[in-house]
Amino acid sequence: MDGNGRWATAHGYSRSAGHEAGLRAARNIVEAAVREGVGTLTLYAFSSDNWKRPGAEVTALMRLFRRALLGEAKRCLDNGVRLTILGRRDRLPSSLRHTVEQVEALTASGANMHLRVAVDYSARDAVLRAASALRGDSVSREAFGELVARVDNDRLPARDVDLVVRTGGEQRLSDFLLWECAYAELKFVSKMWPDFTADDLAEALADFRGRNRRFGLAPEQVAS
């Protein structure tokens, strides 16, 4: 969800107003993803590196996260959406941690889509914590993937990412689900996140469906 701050600057708004606009866009995309039949949607809301931002902005974002969780919980419940938070929790404000636990419990039965919001998330840190937990033991890719998911509070079995859509014109992963994105299809969009719409999501999904995904196989093997 990249580009909230730049969107705000371009429109003469405060950065906080940009994050508010980003929240509205997120709400629309979640509802559109349910309609499109998406099984799992992960929104990258706050990376571990974002703690380096000005303190006032970080504090405002933490308040916005908590308000968003409280405001969207019933909407998720009504739409059959299970909401979980990925990433570290020990550095989050205690009130936010408590709200996370409440919302995760409230929406646990959602079966239409799993919405994951990455907060204080770093893929590199997740891999390091998973590797440290092994203490020299050998392990399969599948088992290590489950371990990576577990250290980041993922409550469902690990699965690879199919499609990454990045808004804001940047063309990099920025420490997002690096293990899970080994064979992900990538789509980079010049629009800032607040301008990203349900039609843009539909276009990205249509593009994804037309990709030739081989997973290391030869083209003739895929065709057969």
Catalytic residues: 2, 50
Q: What one-character-per-residue DSSP string does 61-119 give?
A: HHHHHHHHHHHHHHHHHHTTEEEEEES--TTS-HHHHHHHHHHHHHTTT--SEEEEEEE
Helical axes 141-151 vs 123-134, angle rounded to 10°: 120
Contacts 24+ apart (CB under 8 A), 123-128: 123/173, 123/175, 123/176, 123/177, 123/178, 123/179, 124/175, 124/178, 125/48, 125/88, 126/151, 126/152, 126/179, 127/178, 127/179
Tell me how far apart the alpha carbons of residues 184 and 178 are, in angstroms, rounded to a whole number: 10
Tell me how far apart the alpha carbons of residues 108 and 188 are, in angstroms, rounded to a whole number: 32
- In terms of Cβ atoms closer than 10 Å to its own Cβ (0-12, 13-18, 19+), residue 168 is buried
Give the distance between the most distant pair of CA atoms in the chain. 57
Cα-Cα end-to-end distance for the chain = 38
